Structure 1
Amino acid sequence: MTTQEIANQLVDYCRNNQENKAYQELYSPKITSVEMVEPMKEVHGMEGIQKKGQWWEENFDVHGTEVSDPLVADNHFTVRFWMDTTHKPSGQRSQMNELAVYQVQDGKIIREQFFYDTGE
């Protein structure tokens, strides 16, 4: 698959709440995922991705999302995510924009990094 095809497929999976399918089909087993803050600042491999997903589900209720079309440049692409969530421990509801940048190598996503306002 080309970077454009991978980007389009990822967006389709995210818009249809099929992130696990994306991980299985589009991600390299050597994936690195980078956030801006702890506790999941940087995780490696599919096990790290699974732990990160579990942490997210335990801590957030998602009320709504929007996923932009991808913007591709060579072996990188970016997608904007908008989310309406409630932080379960505090009960605080908020909306956020997040910019995700993905790197593709050998037909798989090898790295993802997320950028958003941390409130700091």
Structure 2
Amino acid sequence: MTTEQVANQLVAYCRNNEESKAYQELYSPEITSIEMVEPMKEVQGFEGLAKKGEWWKENFEVHANEVSEPLIADNHFTVRFWMDTTHKPSGQRTQMNELAVYEVKDGKIWREQFFYNTGE
């Protein structure tokens, strides 16, 4: 798949809450996923993504989200996510913009990095 095809398919999956399909079809087994803060600052591979997903579901309730069209540059693309969430342990509800940058290699996403306001 081209970078544009990967980007468009990822956006479609995210808009339909089908992230598990995205992981199965679009991600490389060598994926590196980088967040701005702990506890999941950097994870490797499908096992790392699964643990990160479990942590997210345990800690956040998503009330609404929006996914932008991708912006593509060579073998990179970016997507803006807007989310309205509640942090389950504290009960704090917030809205945030998140900028995700993806790198595609051999037709698969092999690196993703997320940027957002950490509240600090």
Partner of 2:28: 28
What runs of 5+ residues in structure 2 fail to find an aligned partner? none
Number of residue equivalences: 120
Partner of 2:16: 16
Partner of 1:62: 62
Shift in Å, 1:119: 1.4
Shift in Å, 1:70: 0.1
> Which residues of 2 match residues 1-120 of structure 1 at below 5 A?
1-120=1-120
Shift in Å, 1:113: 0.1
Task: Provide the rounded CA distance (Å) in 1 between the counterparts of 2:106 and 2:47.
Answer: 21
What runs of 5+ residues in structure 1 fail to find an aligned partner? none
TM-score (norm 2): 0.99
TM-score (norm 1): 0.99
Task: Provide the rounded CA distance (Å) in 2 between the counterparts of 1:37 and 1:113.
Answer: 11
The alignment's C-alpha RMSD in Å is: 0.3
Amino acid at match of 2:53: G
Task: Provide the rounded CA distance (Å) in 2 between the counterparts of 1:35 and 1:7.
Answer: 19
Overall identity of the aligned pairs, in %: 80
Q: Deviations over 1:57-93 (max 9, x none)?
A: 0000000000000000000000000000000000000
